[in-house]
């Protein structure tokens, strides 16, 4: 199964993608995680991306697409994937269409997690306190939300226009949200206990 998970910063994409990876046996492909790994490793790409990420802006489409293509070629993605954090603008959505057409692996589902802005701030403030992610300070969160509204919200319209988008309420416990996503995928959540 090949899925795009859309949603604002803090909407729960990473949290839910990790659960979906377990539930569906597909790869969790987070462009944010891939970029943070490059930053941590001090690669040339990571050095180019670091300041852009800390400013809450988008890293260049070309860099992210190259990274994504390499990741989709890894063995765990053969069974399918959940894209978390990609596409983030309409140019990336078109590039993804072209890449997946070339690979003969079109998308099956596009899910958008809906969470209101006040709760996004609360969640990211919680994570800032717990984990100290450098782009979770209030000023950068505001900038990330601006970038989301200006550049990523049109991606929602892009997929909605082709009838491919399913909206899921992202407010509730992690299990409740997972159940809603699984229902939107036409699956039943199975969990231990």
Residues in contact with ligand AP5 by the rule CB under 6 A? 7, 9-15, 31-32, 35, 52-53, 56-59, 64, 85-86, 88, 92, 123, 126-127, 135, 144, 172-174, 177
Annotation marks residue 71 as catalytic: no
Nearer to ligand AP5, 114 or 163 (CB): 114
Nearer to ligand AP5, 147 or 185 (CB): 147
Nearest residue to ligand AP5, using CB? 32
In the numeric block, which tokens belong to residue 80?
């399918």
Provide long-range contacts, Cβ within 8 A and 24+ apart, for 141-150.
141/9, 141/10, 141/56, 142/56, 143/55, 143/56, 143/57, 144/9, 144/56, 145/8, 145/9, 145/117, 145/120, 146/56, 147/56, 147/57, 147/58, 148/8, 148/9
How far, in Å, CA of 156 to CA of 105, rounded?
21
Residue 178: alpha-carbon gap to chain centroid: 15
**In the complex, what is the shortest distance from the CB of residue 90 to ligand AP5, in angstroms, rounded to a whole number?**
12
**In the complex, what is the shortest distance from the CB of residue 1 to ligand AP5, in angstroms, rounded to a whole number?**
19
Annotation marks residue 50 as catalytic: no
Annotation marks residue 105 as catalytic: no
Nearer to ligand AP5, 27 or 59 (CB): 59
Nearer to ligand AP5, 103 or 171 (CB): 171
- Residue among 13, 19, 21, 50 flagged as catalytic: 13
DSSP 124-180: HHHHHHHH--GGGSHHHHHHHHHHIIIIIHHHHHHHHHTT-EEEEE--S-HHHHHHH
Annotation marks residue 13 as catalytic: yes
Nearer to ligand AP5, 52 or 90 (CB): 52
Q: What radius of gyration, in Å, describes the C-alpha atoms of the chain?
A: 16
Annotation marks residue 187 as catalytic: no
How far, in Å, CA of 175 to CA of 167, rounded?
17
**In the complex, what is the shortest distance from the CB of residue 6 to ligand AP5, in angstroms, rounded to a whole number?**
9
- Residue among 133, 166, 167, 187 flagged as catalytic: 133
- Residue among 21, 50, 88, 123 flagged as catalytic: 88
For the annotated catalytic residues, the residue numbers are 13, 88, 127, 133, 144
């Amino acid at each position: 199964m090949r899925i795009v998970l859309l949603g604002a910063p803090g909407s729960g994409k990473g949290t839910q993608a990790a659960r979906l990876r377990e539930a569906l046996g597909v790869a969790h492909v987070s462009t944010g995680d891939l970029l943070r790994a490059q930053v941590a490793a001090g690669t040339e790409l990571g050095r180019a991306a670091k300041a852009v990420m800390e400013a809450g802006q988008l890293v260049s489409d070309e860099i992210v697409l190259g990274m994504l293509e390499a990741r989709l070629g890894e063995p765990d993605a053969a069974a399918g994937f959940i894209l978390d954090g990609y596409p983030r603008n309409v140019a990336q959505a078109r590039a993804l269409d072209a890449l997946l057409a070339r690979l003969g692996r079109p998308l099956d589902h596009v899910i958008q997690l809906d969470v209101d802005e006040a709760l996004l701030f609360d969640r990211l403030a919680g994570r800032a306190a717990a984990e100290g992610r450098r782009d979770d300070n209030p000023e950068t969160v505001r900038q990330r939300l601006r970038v989301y509204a200006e550049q990523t919200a049109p991606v929602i319209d892009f997929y909605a226009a082709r009838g491919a988008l399913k909206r899921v309420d992202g407010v509730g416990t992690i299990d409740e949200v997972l159940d809603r996503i699984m229902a939107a995928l036409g699956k039943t959540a199975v969990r231990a206990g």
